[in-house]
Copies of this chain bind each other. A is one copy, B any other.
């Protein structure tokens, strides 16, 4: 009996090792194909240089959708289609500006209106500036704020090793600073850019107005100008004259772009991999999220190139409207639920195309352990870290509606907020091999989830 048990244990170990070895060999083939014949970098060049920034509702959004569908079709998946959804249509409307007037000088500040903000129009806003570093400080200065421009000057906390933590810590001022200022009668808001870069580029991104208060103009300011403004305010009063032109046009038709490989064994179990096709308007939306888009396409390409026929149905999704509405992700989850689709796993790449670190997971302990058990297979390609928590905006609705476990591809974060939502988020900031190694790790994970379930 003891001998039999020993034999069974040995057999199990041998089988596991054999499986891991087969997986290791297949993942090596994935890597070789992507590193030698990869198309992600060329695809990204087209998306960024020929199409460019592609905010929801823009002509570039339409071009990008057509481009995505065409590439998907060229790779001959079992199916490729556009999934319609209404998207918001915010336009910048003009060149944002802010001029600081001190006793002695006028200085043009490097600024950009926050996305979804409503413009001052050509008459502009001209008012004195009150600096705060927290909502508590705003509260304490509420009697000063009326008729003024509130300047939120809260810097990224550099002690956070992972920059997304610093972003999470600071982004509340971009999101709700304008309305909080308006609550006390402020006429405008200037927010220190969500960045810890060494340059002066301002970084846009969404705000959300609270409908209880006046929708005042709101701008992001470059870090050097933020420091300058803060210094000057120590010396005396400063007024700023600002002009912005943002407005909403009626909602318009956008699309998720989807390709599908039908599962041979469990066609009714769905695995989703994706990124978002829209981007903010400065720059070219290269790292945010052109890289996630071309990595998603590359995973499909490598599966086809290697003749990989998945057991489960794998969906490749270029989501619409992540930046200022999440309508694409919401629509995708709604349709999944209404059709009774069982989504067992979703993966998003939306933290840039930098060198791989690993994956983050929102799922059960058991699922986390399963992901952990694949670590040795991912480590050779840099995807060694497995973190708990995380996922991606566009796949969040799937997690909320049917508890689908969701994972985020996690590249190194140090450079992301140097260019996030800024004019320097361009093709040239992407390294070909870093981008490709991301695709390698993503393809490897999808392969493992498909093979073993999740």
Binding site for B on A (CB under 8 A): 31-32, 35-36, 41, 158-159, 161, 163, 196, 198, 355, 380-382, 384-385, 412, 414-415, 418, 431-434, 437
Contact = CB atoms under 8 A, between A and B. Distances in A.
Contact of A31 (B31, B161, B412): B161
A350 B232 CA distance: 42
A415 B418 CA distance: 17
A199 to B, nearest CB: 10
Contacts of A31: 159, 161
Contacts of A196: 433
A36 B166 CA distance: 13
A414 B31 CA distance: 15
Chain B CB count within 10 A is highest, among A159, A412, A431, A432, for A412
Nearest to A440: B161
A36 B414 contact: no
B412 A355 contact: yes
A385 to B, nearest CB: 8
A301 to B, nearest CB: 16
14 contacts: A31-B161, A36-B158, A36-B159, A158-B433, A161-B380, A161-B382, A196-B433, A198-B432, A355-B414, A412-B412, A414-B434, A414-B437, A415-B434, A418-B431
Contacts of A414: 355, 431, 433-434, 437
A412 B385 CA distance: 15
B415 A158 contact: no
Chain B CB count within 10 A is highest, among A35, A415, A433, for A433
